[in-house]
């Protein structure tokens, strides 16, 4: 798949983190010449810092000779009124700052819904545990787990990185969001609940690394 076009250049740091974690290739551009430099699977235009310039770039990308689609527009809540009359310039919008999981879900949904794309469901699987990233469902040996949204997000993040040790601070940042200011106890509480819901036989998948944090299972790549 071609990379996503990102405007402006340099791209917003939080957006790049989301794309990199999701494994989505991207290329930041600053002007029309950059937009003509290759083929793109879609675009994300960040208009929150320079609204008029952002809206102008979105319209440029939707011109017939470029026609970069689908296009996600990032705006602040205070800019929502400015979207009036500009609906032809984007396919979806997201109010920022947004939780990384919401932004990732919107981008993936946009790519999957583009005409001609038939993407299989994304699944994270570790032994008998399976997480469907499109339906937000988790199961063990086919039996659904009753997880809250944040329990699911925490389990997904850990299961996507088997064998890696994460501190509580990193888990707070990557799962709860970069702007979250809760304490480390939040992580401990959710880990305890997750272990209980995984059941006695699977609770050991989430291991405590003393004086550091937590890890999930063992790396598939070995030592």
Q: In this structure, what CATH number is given to the domain that contains residue 64?
A: 3.40.50.2300
The last residue of one of the domains, among 67, 94, 113, is 113
- Which of these three, 59, 84, 113, is where a domain ends? 113
- Containing H/E element for 143? strand 143-144
The model carries a pTM of 0.54
Angle at CA 188, nearest 5°, toward 193 and 179? 110
Residue 128: CATH number of its domain: 1.10.10.10
Q: Does 223 map to a domain?
A: no
Give the max Cα distance, the chain: 59
CA–CA gap between residue 104 and residue 98 (Å, rounded): 10
Q: pLDDT of 119-156, one tens digit each?
A: 455 788 888 899 988 788 999 998 999 999 899 999 99
Residue 221 forms part of a structural domain? no
pLDDT tens digit string along 152-194? 999 999 998 889 999 998 898 888 875 566 677 899 999 999 9
Query: What b/e sequence results for 113-147 when a residue is b if at least 16 CB atoms lie within 10 Å of its CB, and e otherwise?
Result: eeeeeeeeeeebebeebbbebeeeebebeeeebeb
Number of other CB atoms surrounding residue 169 within 10 Å: 11
Domain of 182? 123-216
How many domains is the chain built from?
2
From 113, 135, 162, the end of a domain falls on 113
Phi and psi torsions of 54, nearest 5°: -65, -45
Asked whether the predicted pLDDT for residue 38 surpasses 80, the reply is: yes
């Amino acid at each position: 798949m071609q990379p996503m076009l990102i405007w402006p250049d340099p791209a917003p740091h939080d957006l790049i983190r989301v794309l990199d974690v999701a494994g989505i290739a991207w290329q930041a551009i600053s002007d029309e010449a950059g937009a003509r430099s290759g083929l793109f699977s879609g675009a994300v235009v960040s208009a929150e810092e320079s609204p008029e310039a952002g809206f102008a770039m979105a319209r440029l990308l939707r011109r017939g000779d470029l026609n970069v689609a689908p296009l996600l527009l990032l705006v602040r809540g205070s800019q929502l009124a400015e979207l009036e009359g500009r609906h032809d310039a984007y396919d979806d919008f997201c109010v920022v700052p947004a939780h990384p999981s919401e932004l990732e879900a919107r981008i993936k949904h946009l790519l999957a819904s583009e005409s001609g794309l038939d993407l299989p469901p994304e699944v994270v699987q570790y032994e008998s545990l399976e997480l469907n990233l499109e339906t937000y469902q988790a199961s063990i040996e086919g039996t659904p787990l009753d997880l809250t949204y944040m329990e699911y997000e925490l389990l997904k993040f850990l299961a996507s990185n088997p064998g890696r040790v994460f501190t509580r601070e990193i888990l707070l940042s990557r799962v709860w969001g970069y702007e979250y200011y809760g304490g480390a106890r939040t992580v401990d509480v959710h880990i305890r609940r997750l272990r209980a819901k995984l059941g006695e036989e699977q609770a050991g998948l989430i291991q405590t690394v003393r004086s550091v944090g937590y890890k999930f299972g063992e790396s598939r790549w070995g030592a």
